[in-house]
Structure 1
Amino acid sequence: MSETTSLFAESAIDAPRPIKVVVIGAGFSGIIAGIRFLQRVPNVQLVIYEALAGVGGTWFANKYPGLACDIPAHCYQLTFHEKTDWSSFYARGSEIRAYLESVVDKYNLWPFIQLEHRLSGAIYSEATGKWNLTIQRPNKDSESKFEEFQDSADVLFTGMGSLSRWKWPDIKGLHSFGGKVMHSAQWETGEGDLSGPWEDTVKSWKDKKVGIIGVGSSAIQLVPALQPKVKELCQYVRGKTWISSLFLGDEAEKLGMGKMESNCNEMAFPGNQRTKRSTDEFTDKDKALFKDPAYYKEFRRDLESTLNSIHVVTMKGHPVQEGSRAMFKADMLQRLRTRPEIAEHLIPDFPVGCRRLTPGPGYLESLCQDNVKFITTEIKQILPNGIETLDGKVEELDVIVCATGYDTSYQLPFPIIGRGGVQLSDKYTPHARTYLSIAVDGFPNWFQSMGSGSLLILIERSVEYAVQATLKLQREHLKSMEVKPEAVDDWDEFIEHYFKKTVFSETCRSWYKAGKSEGRVVALWPGSCLHAVRALEHPRWEDYTYEPLDGHKNRFFWAGNGTTVAEETPGADRAWYLSEVDFPPVPLH
């Protein structure tokens, strides 16, 4: 120990050292992180870098017609920022984007957000215990399109999401098409009357013949949005998928959403009966009820409780799984009764939930319309004038929309390099090996958002975990904390064991398995949403290794100079603990 190095910190025990946190992404994860780090971490310097030109993440990037969330709107919002005037049971994309902007406004996050700033590299410095970041931004004062600058962080929190990097399908001749080729995730690209918002271009599509490739959630939303607005629509479908009807449960019954159906399989969902209707839009009467705080609180709580009760549908052979399958099949057959050949191809032979279940309001009904062709023959190639299938048939098209999903390999387009030069991409090959989905061995002081699942509470709790870790680094004057490799190994073993008993391990092509039909489940928490909430509630600090700051050796360095901030501050409250008394309940005798 050098003569200039003190055995103990010279500050009060509760005097927080300065700490810098950099958040990557300004979607739900980044916004929640910004709010909670500023709220809970004293003496913090915060920066949020967002690659896009606005906040919202996937809800800013995606603007295709029909865009909506497949989680009920009242559950797809923050626990601490409620919205009572959603227009429909499943919130539209523009509403979610506006909601997120309202959160940023309320909590005054704009000064901390740098838009159009993209992370292009991150390297951990073992010498300083900091992350050295390379940030790319538009260059407005030079002929060069972009410029780069360096930043650093004591703690790096990434909330980039698994559905943020879309990809073109691997189809011969795709970009030789003479008309307009679009991707659902890049709707506002190109030129002419196809480049603006949907509301401004809808009239120009009335004479268009449009082809949609894919049958994922984006395609299922695009079809009913485009079908009434175009001359002809051809959907190219390779796989199968379950389309759930709008079973809104007892909460819908309270709103008088249609009549109760008594012939539904009672085992399909918890509760005795379900409500079914053809539209998910709220009426003025519905919205008026939501203005009553007591009613709204009960409605939301009951709805989330219902969602948290259907995890059993994911378990192989469970009566709820079998009941759901029978019910959804009967419903799809009924809704496709005028086009039974579509039902024969579309209804899966794999269990409900093997790939993400989509409500798809209006989708099956649109497939039955006269101006829709449902094409199941594999695509051979794309020609300058349309799409040719393997049977030699050619559909001449004006527009091709690729609703073909995202890159879910977790291989980022830039390097993140941890201790000893280890690459994050190597840790994510052949699949992501993490600790509780939020940390990786070899990457100190780095946490990522756990963005999968049905409720945003998972993202909230992963942020809370990162905040607690940051407070530990700050409070105990630690240079670094890093999850142990053996903890990652044990978690990986738990994941392997868990998913074998679920429908996710069945044969079906899903982004849960990185777009593969079989293999490792990489995009889901191994358990229910409530299970994840409990798992993150009390961090196991013993699963980490630590380095002290400034080379100090005594584990009680953080105890400081033997005083508190209150004692060193004139006029401070030196009996603050009397305001934090936890009064135990008195037993009734």
Structure 2
Amino acid sequence: MGYTKTYKDGTTPTVAIIGAGFSGLCAAIRLQTQLNLYTYTVFEMETDIGGTWLANTYPGCACDVKSHNYAYSFEPNYDWSTSYAPQPEIWAYLRRTARKYNLYEKIQFRTEITQVIWDEGRQKWQLSFVNLNTGEKGRMEADVVFSALGPLRIPQIPKEFENFEGPKWHTARWNHNYDLTNKRVAVVGSGASGIQVVPSIVKKVKTLEYYQRTASYIVPRRNARYNAIWRWMFRNVPFFHFIYYKMLYWSSEYTVAAFSSKLQDRIPRMVMVLMAWFFRFVQIRNKELRKKLTPDYEMGCRRIVVSSNYYPALSRKNVNVHTEAITSVKGNTLTLRDGSTQEVDVLIMATGFHVQQMFPKGFMYGKDGTDVAEFLGASPTTYYGMTTTVTPNLFFLLGPNTGLGHNSILFMVETQVEYGIKAIAYMMAHNLSSIQVNHQAAQDFIDEVDHKMKGMVWSSACKSWYQNSEGRVTALWWSNCSHYWWRLRKFHPKRFIATQKI
């Protein structure tokens, strides 16, 4: 059954898409291909598309999800070179896709959305923006907004590092003009970025001081290469790519059991824990170093990282691993809690991102003048699908309750976009100016999330970026989660409050 593609008067809604990464591009493509809707504008702060994959260009940057699962289902890439695609290939794929669908002409680059306000009287969103090149300000009125503000875009930089007097940068703002050869380098942070950076620079630096706050669980990265024969089969053998894609997807989906303490999941969980332990034991021969790199929390609480060269890199003679907290930074010297000091030439911050802070207070005001940032902070899981009860016609493409660490986030993105497409089609079919989730639907969703989270590792005492500052879990992590999100593609009008167009 096809979607309704216009209002009764033949018009289509005006749509604003904030962000031109994977999520924003997906929304734009599906508006075109499923609704034949071209009355949309994409706003992007940077000079090109790509989002996370434009910003993060540090050495060793690559995806930790299998390549063939890290592409749009409707736009497969048959030419990945390896099992885990490097950043340049992912960015090239996005640009190639954007050109195929003529998206560049719909994007306003170097344009920052500064405020988004719902106008109840006009039943529209009022967006304020500024051109970052000229400083010129403008406004746009939109019927529908897709928020595609990715979580890995705002670097988290501790204030104490501002005192460092030498060259310094965050991994998401890599300085490619500075040569690290024979330099004394400090890398702060042991998340995915730090784990990828260290092996990529360790052979060229004189010394590497590595500051680890919390050890990560590491599993092997079997990064096989796809030769010309593989690529030919993906492109020419019927259903070969589709079957391969599904096999990769479900093999990754099965690992969600590693995050559960439920009886039926204990065996696969034990297998994952033993794999990580054995991998660490084999690759690290120094007992003292192995102790530093052994996590002291339940597996899965924090993101599990895939890497086969991280432990060997930290075992090199020119690397010193520090687990004490940095207490002060003066000049080029870092002082630790135990009183030890290290003088370095360069400071590299792999200190992560403001994942929970999708946008600041005062940025978005929904119905009844509600500050959406404050609303989400007070009730972080008040979502049903993509929309909160206070934001009519707004679809969050990567908000709370969409975090993944065992499979491709693109499945979540496509699911949410399709839900938005169905909502817009419903609005046009019934001549509606707005729809918003009713309170009961939102509460039912919260209750289901809380119920499903019982017995999962994030409901224990552990702390990670999958929780907000109040300890509430903001990720959907349970068995058969893809089945659950597939259900969200079904649009149920009874769960919404609708306003008829005048």
- TM-score for both structures, normalised by structure 2: 0.92
SS of the residue corresponding to residue 85 of structure 1 reads coil
What SS class does the counterpart of residue 272 from structure 2 fall into? helix
Aligned to 2:397: 449
Structure 1 residue identity aligned to 2:465: W
Residue type at the aligned position of 2:386: I
- Decide whether the 8 Å contact of 2:61 with 2:196 is kept in 1: yes
Paired residue for 2:192, among 181, 197, 217?
Answer: 217
Q: Which residue pairs with 1:341 in the alignment?
A: 288
**Alignment partner, residue 267 of structure 1:** none
Whichever residue aligns with residue 508 of structure 1, its letter is C
Q: Conserved in 2, the CA contact under 8 Å of 1:350 and 1:507?
A: no
2:97 to 103, 110, 119: 103
2:488 corresponding residue in structure 1 = 536
The residue type paired with residue 99 of structure 1 is: Y
Give the CA deviation at 1:242. Answer: 0.2
The within-5 A match list for 1:161-180 is 161-171=150-160, 174-180=161-167
Inter-partner Cα distance in structure 1 for 2:37 and 2:96: 26
Cα gap change, 1:291/1:386 in structure 2, threshold over 3 Å: closer, same or farther?
Answer: farther
- Within 5 A, what are the aligned runs for 1:39-78? 39-42=33-36, 44-78=38-72
The match for 2:274 is 326
Query: Residue 366 of structure 2: which of 397, 405, 418 is its match?
Result: 418
Q: Which runs of 5+ in 2 are unaligned?
A: 1-5
Structure 1 residues 411 and 22, CA, compared in 2 at 3 Å: closer, same or farther?
closer
Q: 1:547 offset after TM fit, Å?
A: 1.0
User: Is residue 2:117 matched to residue 1:130?
Assistant: no
The count of residues paired between Structure 1 and Structure 2 equals: 486
The answer to whether the Cα contact below 8 Å between 1:495 and 1:526 also exists between their aligned partners in 2 is no
Change (3 A) 1:487 1:13: closer
Match of 2:170, as an amino acid? H
- AA at the equivalent of 1:36: R
Displacement of 1:87 in angstroms is 2.1
Give, as a single letter, the amino acid of the residue that structure 1 aligns with 2:200: A
Distance 2:14 2:354 in 1: 31
Residues 17 and 475 of structure 1 are in contact (CA less than 8 Å); yes or no, is this contact kept in structure 2?
no
Indicate the residue corresponding to 1:313 in structure 2.
258
Cα distance in 1, alignment partners of residues 452 and 374 from structure 2: 24
Query: Does the alignment pair 1:154 with 2:101?
Result: no
What is the deviation of 1:509? 3.5
SS in 1 for 2:296: coil
User: CA, structure 1 residues 383+233, in 2 after alignment: closer, same or farther (shift >3 Å)?
Assistant: same
Higher CA-based Rg: 1
**Code of the aligned partner of 1:162:** P
Shift of 1:497: 2.1
Q: State the match for 2:459 in structure 1.
A: 505
Q: Which residue of 2 aligns with 1:293?
A: 237
Greater displacement, 100-109 / 423-432 = 423-432
Q: Is 2:332–2:344's contact at 8 Å kept on the other side of the alignment?
A: yes
Between the aligned partners of 1:378 and 1:50, the Cα distance in structure 2 is 37
Q: Deviations for 1:250-284, whole angstroms, at most 9, x for unmatched residues?
A: xxxxxxxxxxxxxxxxxxxxxxxxxxx5x544455
After superposition, the Cα gap between the structure-2 partners of 1:458 and 1:223, relative to the gap in structure 1 and judged at 3 Å, is same
**Pairing of 1:457-472 with structure 2 (within 5 A):** 457-472=411-426
2:472 alignment counterpart: 520
What do residues 287-315 of structure 1 show as CA deviations (whole Å, max 9, x unaligned)?
55545434433322221221222222221
CA contact (8 A) 2:415 2:485 kept: yes
Tell me the secondary structure at the aligned position of residue 461 of structure 2: coil
Tell me, in whole angstroms, the C-alpha distance in 2 between the residues paired with 1:95 and 1:83: 10
Q: How does 1:7-406 map to 2 (within 5 A)?
A: 16-42=10-36, 44-140=38-134, 146-171=135-160, 174-188=161-175, 195-196=176-177, 201=178, 204-246=179-221, 279-283=223-227, 286-287=230-231, 290-294=234-238, 295-317=240-262, 318-337=266-285, 339-406=286-353
Per-residue deviation, 1:86: 1.5
Is contact 1:438–1:449 with CA below 8 Å preserved after alignment?
yes
Q: Secondary structure at the match of 1:401?
A: strand
Aligned residue type for 2:493: W
1:506/1:32 Cα in 2 relative to 1: closer, same or farther (>3 Å)? same
User: Structure 2: how far apart are the matches of 1:527 and 1:114?
Assistant: 40
Q: Which moved more, 1:340-349 or 1:99-108?
A: 340-349
**Which residue is 2:436 aligned to?**
482
The 3 A distance-change label for structure 1 pair 92 and 161 is same
Q: Is the 8 A contact 1:235 1:372 kept in 2?
A: yes
Q: Deviations over 1:454-491 (max 9, x none)?
A: 22121111001001111111121112111112222222
Q: Is the 8 A contact 1:410 1:432 kept in 2?
A: no
Q: Which runs of 4+ in 1 moved over 6 A?
A: none
**Pairwise CA RMSD:** 2.1
> Using a 3 Å threshold, how does the CA distance of structure 1 residues 281 and 392 change in structure 2: closer, same or farther?
farther
1:94 Cα deviation from its structure 2 partner: 1.4
Identity of counterpart residues, as a percentage? 29
Structure 1 residues 101 and 492, CA gap change in structure 2 (3 angstroms): same
> Partner letter of residue 510 of structure 1?
S
Any conservation in 1 of the 2:118–2:124 contact (CA below 8 Å)?
yes
